[in-house]
Structure 1
Amino acid sequence: MDIAIIAAVITIVALVLLCLLLVVLRYLFRHKGTYHTNEAKGTEFAESADVALKSDPALEDAGDNSKKEYFI
């Protein structure tokens, strides 16, 4: 009788640990550390920051070109 209780407890603990391992592995594979940036498309091949900013359609109507300000 005692052996059956010990075997049942060990089986339950093993199943809980297996389920916990599966949940952790699923979380790790779903969240691989990727992130999204809000950078303009096509600016990675520009020869300078000025050219990249001038070709950005969101910044075309920025006004005065003599004052340049860059945010890093």
Structure 2
Amino acid sequence: MLKTSEMLDATTEFRKNGFNHQDAATLGTLAAQFQNVSDEAISASDSASFIISQMIAFGVEADKASTIIDSVFVG
């Protein structure tokens, strides 16, 4: 179950990294979902940091960020 506080933590990380409000909210939800389906020991904030680093490394735009998560679980 996604917690509001987790989504807020993740969204804050995206805002700190320069994403606009809309993208940060969408990416925050994605990060919280990733945190929820992966190891519970990872925080939503750490999940956001992972997504950000992958977006930068592979030049992935915010609207395609879900492909990062898909790749983690498929690959």
Q: TM-score, normalised by structure 2?
A: 0.26
Higher relative contact order (CA 8 A, sep 6+): 2
Q: TM-score, normalised by structure 1?
A: 0.27
Would you tell me which structure has more helix in proportion to its own residues? 2
Structure with bigger gyration radius: 1
